[in-house]
């Protein structure tokens, strides 16, 4: 399996983070998903006045990728602001796990803090129907 181009994935996450729609929390999240074929698909969080209809950056990246025909993923880079990088929420972990638990996850901040995980570490024993 080819090495992940982390700088390219991080650049895509930072790029899309700037487009986050966050009038309620002001918490900008950018996610860039790398397919096994080398495509990069990005998503940002999109908030809603109902709050409950808000969708996270990671899920928006996955849903965009699936809509474009990609269902096999190698890695995801997630950028958040603050001192420590944020990790994907529980719902996003389950959505990512639908497509494989080996996914490499890089959580980072624009200031240079980083944390690396495998999805299987963040969501052991994910629920599966198949």
Residues noted as catalytic: 58
Q: Does residue 103 belong to the site contacting ligand THU (CB under 6 A)?
A: no
Report how many helices (DSSP H) and strands (DSSP E) the chain contains, helices first.
4, 5
Closest CB 20 distance from ligand THU, rounded Å: 7
Q: In whole angstroms, give the CA distance from residue 43 to residue 65.
A: 9
Counting residues that bind ligand THU (by CB under 6 A) gives: 13
Residue written as token pair 């994935």: 9
Closest CB 3 distance from ligand THU, rounded Å: 26
Closest CB 47 distance from ligand THU, rounded Å: 5
Buried b (16+ CB within 10 A) or exposed e, 4-41: bebeebbebbbebbeebeeeeeeebbbbbbbbeeeebb
C-beta separation of 40 from 56 below 8 A: no
- Our CB check for ligand THU shows the closer of 40 and 58 to be 58
Near ligand THU in 2-21, by CB under 6 A? none
Question: Which residues would be at the binding site for ligand THU (CB under 6 A)?
Answer: 22, 25, 27, 29, 45, 47, 54, 56-58, 88-89, 92
């Amino acid at each position: 399996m080819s090495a992940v181009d982390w700088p390219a994935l991080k650049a895509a996450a930072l790029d899309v983070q700037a487009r986050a729609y966050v009038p309620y929390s002001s918490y900008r999240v950018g996610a860039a998903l790398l397919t096994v074929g080398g495509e990069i698909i990005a998503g940002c969080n999109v908030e809603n006045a109902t709050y409950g209809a808000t969708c996270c950056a990671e899920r928006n990246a996955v849903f965009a990728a699936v809509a474009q025909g990609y269902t096999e993923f190698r890695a995801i880079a997630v950028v958040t602001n603050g001192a420590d990088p944020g990790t994907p929420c529980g719902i996003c972990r389950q959505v990512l796990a639908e497509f494989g638990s080996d996914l490499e996850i890089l959580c980072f901040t624009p200031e240079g803090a980083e944390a690396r995980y495998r999805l299987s570490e963040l969501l052991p024993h994910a629920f599966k129907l198949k």
